[in-house]
Amino acid sequence: MTPFIKKCSSKIWSFVLSHKIWAIVILFVLVGGCYEIYAKISTGSTETQYTLSMAHLGTLTQTVTGTGQVSALNQLDVTSKVSGTITSINISVGDRVKKGDLIATIDSTDARRTLEAARISLEKLTTPPKTTDLSEANSSVTKAYDNGFSTVAGIFTDLPNIVSGMKDLFYNQSGFLGDQRSPNLSETARGYRDTAGQKYDKAVAEYNQTLAIFKTVSRDSATSSIDNLLENTYTMIKDMAEAVTSARTAITFITTSQPEYYSNAATTAASNVNSWSNTTNSDVSSVVSAQSTIQSSGNTLQTLIAGTDSLDLQSQQLSYAQAQQTYANYFIRAPFDGIVGKISASVYSQAGSAAIATLIGEQKISTISLNEIDAAKVKQGQPVNITFDAIDGLTATGTVASVDLVGTVSSGVVTYNVKILINTTDSRIKPGMSLNATIVTEQKEGVLLVPSGAIKTRGNVHYVQVLETAMASSTFNRSRIASSTTSSSTGTRTFTRTAGSGSSNANRATGIAVTSATAPTEVTVTIGDADDTNTEVLSGLTAGQAVVTKTTTVAQGTTATTATSGGLLGGLLGGNRQGATRTTTSGNATFRTTTSGATNATNANSGVSAPPPGAF
């Protein structure tokens, strides 16, 4: 060692001893600088790494998702249409009932009586007449005509006195309304008198005509003759009663307005017309009653002979059907198949508008809300996969039952309700549970698929990058085994591959990272539909071609280096890096290599980070 070096070393050492902290700082700066120089020298040039995926035939599934709650398709509070006392309840909570099963009974005593009465009435109309019924009906008709003739005969017994008395009243010199005294009447009184006289003259003419007919008819005459006699008699006696009433009106007006007029005869005249009015009015009622009895008995006979009138029969049939329905309403029955969820009434309580029981249908449904874009893809009949928040491991199937045609707008967002039928029957599925529905809107099988990340666009043209076929085939053949580990005297190497997802086959290797000096080829493709992972390729590719999904530029020889043994100075000294770890991550593929006392190895032909020889 020369004196100069000794002198420098001595000064440096003295400086270090007297300035320890500064000495340490300077040492770290020198070491760091050396390490940076070493890193730049050892890094060298960069290389391009490609993440590959294989084009393959598979199933493309497009879905729409939504959330909702379970409800019953049919849930009904069973009530009674009639009121009354509940006499029995025939169900229990949890019972399964079929449509028509008896739920409860209400006291039906009165309804049963009404039904029986309607049945009897209908039976009378539909039962053929008996011989005795026909005989009795004929006898009734004969008796009615006989009584009608007697009524006419009685009238003609009463009328002669009335006709004679009315004649004296108008035409006798001493008559109260006679012509000789009429000049003494006021103009109004004469008007009442003249009107009454004209009605009397008309009634007398009808009386004489009807009397002539009466003389030609007997009790044994044809019923038509007696009908004609009754009709003429009714017209005549009605007009005679009106004439007597008009005469009474005239006498009343005269005696009231002109009390001095023929006062000696006023009382007798008023008494007579009152008596005649009572008689004629009674005769009118007698004729009307006789005609009505004849018509009624005749109708009864005709009904027995011809049978029941069709309209009468229909009317009674409707009455009977209504009585049957009313009686049936007292027996409360299940309107559909379902489960009894609740019983709200008890025996001896009063039935009415309140619920007797709550029935839940076994068919479960759910209504989910979708935005307008998703709703446009959903159609009736599409399959649905359903999971439940409260039931682990259960995936139910369902079907889209309907999609609302009218949306609901809230805060400017339009949504549509979609009703889903839950086809899976499981007792664990209960109304009110939350569910997640995945609607399969379209499913294509056997189509050519690539990851959507592999599709690139330039203007209106779609293209993919395809790596050389031999290299790609070698890569995927090496990646068939997911992981493997080998040991040697020099250390341990671990190879790990993460398989892709989507609609590709489970055993197909996807997401393989490779390095290549040769750039991939751009291939123009025509694309179709896409799902969340893959895109359909209509033309431009064939199954088995490897497409690039990701391109990464990395340092040649390593991507990251971490010293695990040998320390910082060992790195500065160069040579083999003891205990170094190399990790490369790209897309869905992960490659990690750990070495101990050996330099990291790389396949020189394909540039693929692969397991060591003999690992498979």
Residue 579 DSSP one-character state: T
Lowest-pLDDT range of 76-85, 526-535, 586-595: 586-595
Confidence of residue 592 (pLDDT cuts 50, 70, 90): very low
Tens of pLDDT, residue by residue over 146-203, are 999 999 999 999 899 999 999 999 999 889 999 888 889 999 999 999 999 999 999 9
Task: Flag the least confident range among 189-203, 217-231, 383-397, 593-607.
Answer: 593-607
Q: How far is CA 530 from the centre of its chain?
A: 34
Report residue 435 as tokens: 């569910």
CB 88 within 8 A of CB 465: no
Task: Report which DSSP code applies to 566.
Answer: S
- Give the mean pLDDT of 99-119: 95
Predicted local confidence at residue 302, as pLDDT: 84
Query: CB neighbours (10 Å) of residue 159?
Result: 23
Give me 261's structure tokens.
């007029």
Query: Tens digit of pLDDT for each residue in 530-565?
Result: 888 999 999 999 998 989 998 887 766 554 433 333
Confidence of residue 588 (pLDDT cuts 50, 70, 90): very low
Q: Helix, strand, or coil here: 305?
A: helix
Amino acid 475: pLDDT: 58
Helical H segments across 172-262, by residue range? 187-214, 223-257
Please answer whether residues 53 and 511 qualify as being in contact, where contact means their C-beta atoms are separated by less than 8 angstroms.
yes
What whole-number distance in Å separates Cα of residue 560 and Cα of residue 209?
A: 142
Determine the average pLDDT of the residues in 330-344.
Answer: 93
Under a CB-based contact definition with an 8 Å cutoff, are residues 548 and 453 in contact? Answer: no
Q: Give this prediction's pTM.
A: 0.45
Q: Using an 8 Å Cβ cutoff, are 94 and 372 in contact?
A: no
pLDDT band at 488 (very low <50, low <70, confident <90, very high): very low
The amino acid present at 388, given as its one-letter code, is: F
Residues 6+ apart with CB under 8 A from 125: 308, 312, 313, 316
User: Is 432 in a helix, a strand, or coil?
Assistant: coil
pLDDT(517) > 80 = no
DSSP 453: G
Q: What is the pLDDT confidence band of residue 363, given thresholds at 50, 70 and 90?
A: confident
Given this model, what pLDDT does residue 396 score? 95
